Structure 1
Amino acid sequence: MINKQLLKKRFNNHAKTYDAYADVQKNMANQLIDQLSTNFFNQEITILEIGCGTGYLTQLLCEKFPKAAITAVDLSSGMIDLAKKKVTEDRVSFICEDIEELRIEKHYDLIISNATFQWFNSLHTTIKKLYKQLKPAGRLLFSTFGNLTFQELHSCYSHAKQKLGLFSSSSPGQSFFSLDELSQICEQALVPLREHPFKLSKMEKLEIQYFSTVQGFFKSIKKIGASNSNEESYCQRPSFFRQLINLYENNHRDENGVKVTYHCLMFNITKTNQ
């Protein structure tokens, strides 16, 4: 389970450094925009953005949808403060809330979210709630991280535990779903809504980043506020981290540096009339 209070605190504390380290998240936002038809752009539509962060995707939405009314939601007040400085148009409103707890009153032509769904504790329920708030022919479009994300770190974490004789079930962060697992969650959430049939498309992509050191990778995670926010404990012994870093350096470094894998998933769900 994600500790939402801890998550909020970390995003608040690192809002000002987020943009400098969120290259993968920005690439994902651009790919989300690319999924939208250009015929859609000049319409007077309503958009709900979930997890707006510092406003990178919000800015793209304003550029692509000059006639749209946009509501942007994020649980971090620090992130929203920065987003408001980037996006000052009156047609954009901001709400500082946890979308899993927020009661959504309006219906939207587009509900969009970038790199946020991995922080939900009740994914099945939240997808169903969001889909119900789509207008006829509306779209739910989101990106998130898949199970191969940080595969190098997870492998080294497991090996370090074995070497030190630690047998706890702890991990360095939350687990992610595979493309098929997340697709199944979406279908299980939406199939019972027979009066609102849907069309689902999905895709996945691996993004590779390189860092000069393992510590540099850890710093990048901290600087975007995405450090471990699980309620479950994880090993923090100095000897353990020395072993972890040594394994990472020896097993996942090449001529480009220390390798880090991001597994990017993208889902496009359209409410249909058939």
Structure 2
Amino acid sequence: MTTTQLFFEKAAKTYDTFNDIQEDLFMALLTNIKQKQFNYIIDLGCGSGRLSYKLHNIFNPKTLIGLDNSKEMIKKAQKEYQKESIYFLHKDICEFPIEADSDFVFSNASFQWIEHLDHVFESMSLSKQRQIAFSVFLPGSFTELEQAINKALNLNVTLPATEFNPINYYEDLCARYFGSFTAKKLTLTKHFKSLSALLKWIKQVGIRGAGSSPSLNWSTGKIKAIEEAYINLFNDISVTFEVACFWSDLKQ
């Protein structure tokens, strides 16, 4: 199990309460989907299943399959959101063959955790009777936190988001496998009362990735120093998320 998987396992019970940014991105992704109904939806990286359930209620498919490589997330999804036409499977999305009769493949805020996506995009492109929509976090997310840490501790720390694939990586994949596509870059911002509240939110959503490089021991003194640097640099404790949404209709 990777460190990223482990953090999502631990966050399964709290994810639905704290995943507001992921839900904002989910809603942004829906804005460019004009079709009112699909028959067979596959949700890649479905997490706790709550947004998959919402997706099902919006498009009313005969079948929706949600996939995630976090066993605890899938257990929560199966317990709280599975019903007759919704199925949640503990699977690695890089290894799952996307069935040809699925007419909508969806992925919200998951692909940034996967370094190489060629196989996934090739699998999505094999059927010409489907629509595709996905969103990703980009480098530029959490830059405020990274800068505050480095200023306060006089270090050169790199946070996981800095290593996310850039937008042109996804544009190249879409051009190679889908042909035509639409992309939209967005900036989302979230404010916190304190640095401790920000760190708690990151933990409860499970988005720590592989952790910082080098790793940090979060002592009370370090948190205080980083919070002071944060406020001096940015006037408050806020986080900017650079994100992108992509859409492709292979039927066109």
TM superposition score category, shorter chain reference: 0.7 to 0.9
CA contact (8 A) 2:180 2:248 kept: yes
Partner SS state of residue 100, structure 1: coil
CA contact (8 A) 1:62 1:68 kept: no
Name which of structure 1's ranges 13-22 and 116-125 shifts more when overlaid on structure 2: 116-125
Query: What are the within-5 Å matches in structure 2 for residues 249-268 of structure 1?
Result: 249-254=231-236, 258-268=237-247
Tell me, yes or no, if structure 1 residue 95 matches structure 2 residue 89.
yes
Deviation at 1:58, TM superposition (A): 1.1
Once residues 98 and 132 of structure 2 are traced to their aligned partners in structure 1, the CA distance between those partners, rounded to angstroms, is 14
Deviation at 1:97, TM superposition (A): 1.2
Residue 193 of structure 1 is matched in structure 2 by none
Query: What are the within-5 Å matches in structure 2 for residues 93-172 of structure 1?
Result: 93-132=87-126, 135-160=127-152, 163=154, 166=155, 170-172=157-159
Query: What are the within-5 Å matches in structure 2 for residues 70-85 of structure 1?
Result: 70-85=64-79
- How many residue pairs end up in the alignment? 249
Partner SS state of residue 266, structure 1: strand
Residue 228 of structure 2 is matched in structure 1 by 246
Once residues 102 and 78 of structure 1 are traced to their aligned partners in structure 2, the CA distance between those partners, rounded to angstroms, is 19
Name structure 1 gaps, 5 residues minimum.
191-196
Tell me, yes or no, if structure 1 residue 184 matches structure 2 residue 172.
yes
- Select 1:234's aligned residue among 214, 229, 232: 214
Alpha-carbon deviations, 1:95-144, whole Å to 9, x = none? 10111133445442110011101111212332223222xx3241121011
Name the aligned partner's letter for residue 60 of structure 1. K
Once residues 231 and 179 of structure 2 are traced to their aligned partners in structure 1, the CA distance between those partners, rounded to angstroms, is 46
Partner SS state of residue 63, structure 1: helix
Alpha-carbon deviations, 1:194-234, whole Å to 9, x = none? xxx5321011211111101112111100111111326x842
Cα distance change, pair 158–269 in 1 and its aligned pair in 2 (3 A): farther
Q: Which has the larger radius of gyration?
A: 1
Name the aligned partner's letter for residue 100 of structure 1. C
Residue 7 of structure 1 is matched in structure 2 by 4
CA contact (8 A) 2:97 2:123 kept: no
Once residues 235 and 14 of structure 1 are traced to their aligned partners in structure 2, the CA distance between those partners, rounded to angstroms, is 20
Residue 14 of structure 2 is matched in structure 1 by 17
CA contact (8 A) 2:115 2:165 kept: no
Name the aligned partner's letter for residue 250 of structure 2. K
Partner SS state of residue 246, structure 2: strand
Q: CA-atom RMSD, angstroms? A: 2.4
Cα distance change, pair 128–142 in 1 and its aligned pair in 2 (3 A): same
Name which of structure 1's ranges 54-63 and 260-269 shifts more when overlaid on structure 2: 54-63
Name which of structure 1's ranges 178-187 and 13-22 shifts more when overlaid on structure 2: 178-187
- Select 1:52's aligned residue among 43, 46, 54: 46
Name which of structure 1's ranges 211-220 and 234-243 shifts more when overlaid on structure 2: 234-243
CA contact (8 A) 1:198 1:270 kept: no
Report the identity percentage: 24
Cα distance change, pair 159–128 in 1 and its aligned pair in 2 (3 A): farther
Once residues 137 and 205 of structure 1 are traced to their aligned partners in structure 2, the CA distance between those partners, rounded to angstroms, is 28
Deviation at 1:160, TM superposition (A): 4.5
CA contact (8 A) 1:138 1:270 kept: yes
Structure 2 length-normalised TM: 0.87
Once residues 211 and 116 of structure 1 are traced to their aligned partners in structure 2, the CA distance between those partners, rounded to angstroms, is 24
Residue 194 of structure 1 is matched in structure 2 by none
Name the aligned partner's letter for residue 263 of structure 1. E
Deviation at 1:272, TM superposition (A): 4.0
Name the aligned partner's letter for residue 64 of structure 2. I
